[in-house]
Amino acid sequence: MVFPSTLTAEILWLDASRMISLAPSDVLIIALYFVMVLGIGIYLRRYASTSNDFFMAGREMSAWVAGLSFLSANLGALELMGWAASAYQYGILATHFYWIAAFPSMIFLGLVMMPFYYISKTHSVPGYLQLRYGEATRALSGISFAFMTILMSGINMYAMALVMEVVLGWSFHFSIWISSLTVAIYVALGGLYSAIFNEVLQFFLIWLGALVIPIMGLIEVGGWQGLVARIYARVHSNEYVHLWSTLGSFSGNPMGVNWVGVVFGLGGAIAFGYWTTDFLVVQRAMAAKDLRSAQLAPIIASYFKMIVPLIVILPGLLGLAVLPYKLVPASAAHAGQYSYNEVLPLMLARYAGPGLLGLGITALIAGFMSGMAGNVSAFATVWTYDIYQPYIRKRASDAHYVRMGRWCTILGVILSIGTAYFVTKFGSIMDYMQALVSFFISPLFGTVLLGMVWKRTTPKGGFWGLLAGTGSSVAMFAAVEAHPTWIRYVALSPHAKTMAEDVYRALWSLLICLLVTVVVSLFTKPKPKEELTGLVWGYTKFPKADSMPFWKTPIFWAAGVAVLFGILQWVFW
């Protein structure tokens, strides 16, 4: 197997006149994929006639379908391109966002929080907050979440358009519109049914296409040890290939963070916030057919989450090892330069020939559509149930709300297109994403958690805590943007990079939310016990599980992923 090995060959390969084009076999693979996803949407339209079908897929998904959809909704172009970019920028430390930031929080969701979501029969996380705290908190969280999903959707659009532009030379604008309209059509037709079944299909397509880069890349560099040697020769340091041993100080690693920020900021505030309260993923588990399936969904997904770095982190490390030119932050890229965000398409173009290129492009398109569909279906549900129905049209027919959900899907896509052009203002896609999580998700976790475990939490405490957490996070971000040296106060070190700031900002916003919620609750009146039944620990009677072998229980599968988690930390210490 021959790989481009000289700088001259690389320059010729990247020259605009030599831009890679699709062979007929590649075009056929991509065309078949578009036909397939649209066909699924058209077919499933007949099963999405009621609001429960359209927004919650009839609550009849098996644990495996819900689990694969749970992960696939998160495994979008944002993940594929964003974490490859972060791995190039920060090294293997980016893997923490899959391991310490996945296993504990996904297991916690399945074993502790999912019973409350499922038993309350709510359609959304803001819907749970309405039951627990009241309308004011629901409105605040619903509007914040709707705003966030639109901004998140823009990331997926931007990522897909970037792939088409870098690899194929297609117009950035054309790529955004053609892919976005496809998603809008199949989600508007089949609702969550269509989103879930397409996400399961896309899960397998993503893996099939994305494995091209790590397999061929490791062959080129001579395996893991060869990769480590090449990275060391490039950066003259091993800090890019160690997971924990460099986190004893802020200055000993590329991210400028220490273990406290990783464990409590990332593993605590960001991870628990995202995996337990982001309705984009929680909605998939809520669609399960029974409580056991709903609990198993995130646990099943966590197994696959542990091995996702193979297709998202490893390509970034390979790019750091083999690309002969230096990539730069997107905000600093000039004509002729490539940014961190482009490392995955550059690596795809490096290794994929006819057929493989079509498969790889299809995998990225599937990733884009998976992330995009997840965001717009969640946006449609929250808008319809938590904003439109309670505040705009309280009494309407079920069919009316289904129509609103379909039109809202189209509107969400159109609004997302506008936000796609905003992403370029950030150094990388994941810097943008983590900033949004610290604004809206981390403080929300504090509000939901206290509502579930502390009977004394009051409606006013929940509202003011959530508002204080979100407001403080935005204020910290604005302060550092205005005065970059102030990052030392937010991230506790002048050596901190953007991702470290995101991690600590999320931690501070969560702590502020918890503090304000507790203080306000102690001075205000809680809800009576009768209104908290099924919503808070101590006032909820959980259904008795059917008799089954221990190996079929959620806790058994949770223990298994804990063992896998420990092994991975030891291997890559």
Per-residue pLDDT tens over the stretch 89-109: 888 888 887 888 788 888 888
- Mean pLDDT score of the chain: 77
Given this model, what pLDDT does residue 418 score? 73
> What six digits make up the tokens of 176?
């955004």
Q: Which DSSP string corresponds to 140-191?
A: HHHHHHHHHHHHHHHHHHHHHHHHIIIII---HHHHHHHHHHHHHHHHHHHH
- Residue 472 predicted with pLDDT over 80: yes
Per-residue pLDDT band at 11 (split at 50, 70, 90): very low
- Residue 338 predicted with pLDDT over 90: no
Per-residue pLDDT tens over the stretch 429-442: 666 777 777 888 88
**CB atoms < 10 A from the CB of 395, how many?**
6
Given this model, what pLDDT does residue 2 score? 37
d(CA 184, CA 554): 35
User: Averaging pLDDT over each range in 121-130, 135-144, 267-276, 384-393, which range is the top one?
Assistant: 135-144
> What six digits make up the tokens of 127?
């819907």
Domains, the chain, ordered by start:
7-44+65-571 (1.20.1730.10)
How far, rounded to the nearest angstrom, does the alpha carbon of residue 403 sit from its chain's CA centroid?
28
pTM: 0.72
d(CA 65, CA 61): 6
Q: 92-106, 124-138, 356-370: which has the minimum mean pLDDT? A: 356-370
User: Averaging pLDDT over each range in 123-137, 149-163, 186-200, 410-424, which range is the top one?
Assistant: 123-137
Q: Report the greatest alpha carbon distance in the chain.
A: 74
Given this model, what pLDDT does residue 163 score? 66
Given this model, what pLDDT does residue 514 score? 94
Rg, the chain, Cα only: 23
d(CA 175, CA 316): 24
Per-residue pLDDT tens over the stretch 301-315: 888 888 888 888 888
* Rounded alpha-carbon distances, angstroms, from residue 512 to 266, 521, 526: 16, 14, 20
- Residue 3 predicted with pLDDT over 50: no
Per-residue pLDDT tens over the stretch 22-38: 677 777 877 787 777 77
Q: What is the mean pLDDT of residues 241-262?
A: 79
Percentage of residues of the chain with pLDDT beyond 90: 7
Cβ-in-10-Å burial (0-12, 13-18, 19+) of 30 comes to middle
Per-residue pLDDT band at 355 (split at 50, 70, 90): low
Given this model, what pLDDT does residue 459 score? 92
Q: What is the mean pLDDT of residues 163-167?
A: 66
Beta bridge partners of 328: 339
Percentage of residues of the chain with pLDDT beyond 70: 78
Higher pLDDT, 554 or 336: 554
How far, rounded to the nearest angstrom, does the alpha carbon of residue 430 sit from its chain's CA centroid?
10
> Helix (H, G, I), strand (E, B), or coil: what is residue 328?
strand
Given this model, what pLDDT does residue 46 score? 67
CA atoms 424, 425, 430, 436: torsion sign:
negative
Given this model, what pLDDT does residue 77 score? 62
**CB atoms < 10 A from the CB of 528, how many?**
8
